């Protein structure tokens, strides 16, 4: 799998370091493996196809690095402890069980698509002396630097700043301490707020800085043009990829192990699609994920060109919807 071709996949990559920068980091940390990472929380609505996009991409990136002769370590973090920070005490045991279910889902992805991902739960390390010591140092640095502390506050949605202030911003500090020693962190664009704090802290102590790689935002399916017109800012960040109930739109998400294929095809057919590359295209996104899944199943390293095919007129809107409706069932939904 060619790393440069992977990083130039239209419709999949929002922002990424250059191939040369990534290979240079891999050489710099050698003989240790370059650390690739994607972490997520979850809700009680199930496992989204949008999470699968990240799992498959991280695996593909690891494979592409290995084919250049570099060692890589691809980790998926299920942030169970972080998730439980945002639910009431009466729900914490339930959400820890859901965390184990999410971890088992990633393990199932490993089996189905031979992804070779290392699955870690936050609860497995968060109370370790090494992690607590790292987090304490980060908290100390931030509290001593008003600008850094303001940056930490910006990682929290404005409506939750007061609540997180009472909790000592531990959710954010757990995240920063988790990523500070990584090489490449894959995630949705909004997470740059965490990444920037981690980079500033690392720079202050002359340590390597984590590099951010953002995939395209996730969007609900089955929506007409008026939804995107009324929610003009949604194209910037979309909805939360790993929470099926984000913005209470679970009926407009593909939830693996739960969604009915016929219902999904109906949503796909009802989805608004624009020929403008700058506008959300959830059908295309599902198609790209399905193509990635297909390639893993067939051990095929061909590039995913679906976005180019659509926007350059090689596949019509009707044919795209038909293709995506079939492939998402064949290569994803039927496998779980």
pLDDT at 1: 83
Claim: this prediction has a pTM higher than 0.85: yes
Report the topology of domain 3-215. Answer: Rossmann fold (3.40.50)
Query: Rounded to an integer, what distance in angstroms lies between the CA atom of residue 104 and that of residue 121?
Result: 11
pLDDT at 228: 85
Nearest to 259 by CA among 268, 246, 247, 270: 268
Taking 90 as the threshold, does the pLDDT of residue 253 lie above it? Answer: yes
The neighbour count for residue 21, using CB atoms within 10 Å, is: 12
Strand residues in 89-221 grouped as ranges (E)? 118-121, 184-187, 211-215
**Which part of the chain is CATH 3.40.50.620?**
3-215
pLDDT tens-digit series, residues 202-236: 998 889 999 999 999 999 999 998 888 888 778 77
pLDDT tens-digit series, residues 82-129: 999 888 889 999 999 999 999 999 999 999 999 999 999 999 999 999
Contacts of 45 (CB under 8 A, 6+ apart): 243, 244, 245, 250, 253, 255
């Amino acid at each position: 799998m060619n790393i440069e071709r992977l990083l130039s996949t239209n419709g999949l990559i929002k922002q990424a370091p250059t191939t040369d920068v990534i290979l240079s980091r891999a050489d710099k940390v050698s003989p240790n493996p370059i650390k690739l990472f994607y972490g997520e929380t979850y809700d009680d609505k199930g496992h989204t196809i949008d999470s699968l996009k990240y799992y498959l991409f991280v695996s593909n990136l690891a494979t592409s690095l290995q084919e250049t002769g570099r060692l890589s370590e691809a980790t998926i973090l299920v942030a169970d402890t972080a998730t439980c920070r945002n639910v009431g005490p009466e729900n914490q045991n339930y959400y820890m069980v859901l965390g184990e279910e999410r971890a088992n889902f990633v393990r199932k992805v490993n089996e189905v698509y031979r992804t070779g991902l290392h699955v870690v739960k936050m609860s497995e390390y968060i109370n370790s002396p090494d992690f607590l010591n790292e987090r304490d140092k980060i908290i100390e640095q931030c509290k001593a630097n008003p600008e850094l502390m303001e940056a930490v506050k910006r990682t929290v949605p404005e409506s939750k700043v007061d609540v997180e202030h009472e909790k000592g911003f531990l959710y954010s500090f757990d995240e920063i301490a988790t990523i500070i020693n990584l090489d490449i962190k894959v995630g949705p664009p909004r997470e740059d707020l965490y990444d920037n704090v981690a980079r500033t802290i690392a720079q202050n102590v002359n340590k390597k800085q984590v590099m951010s790689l953002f995939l395209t935002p996730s969007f609900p399916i089955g929506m007409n043009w008026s939804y995107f017109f009324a929610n003009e800012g949604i194209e910037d960040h979309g909805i939360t990829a790993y929470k099926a109930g984000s913005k209470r739109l679970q009926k407009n998400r593909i939830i693996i192990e739960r969604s009915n294929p016929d219902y999904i095809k109906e949503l796909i057919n009802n989805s608004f699609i624009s020929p403008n590359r700058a506008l959300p295209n959830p059908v295309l996104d599902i198609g790209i994920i399905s193509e990635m899944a297909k390639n893993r199943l067939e051990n095929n390293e061909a590039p995913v060109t679906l976005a180019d095919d659509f926007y350059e007129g090689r596949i019509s809107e009707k044919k795209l919807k038909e293709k995506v409706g079939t492939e998402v069932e064949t290569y994803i939904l039927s496998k779980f």
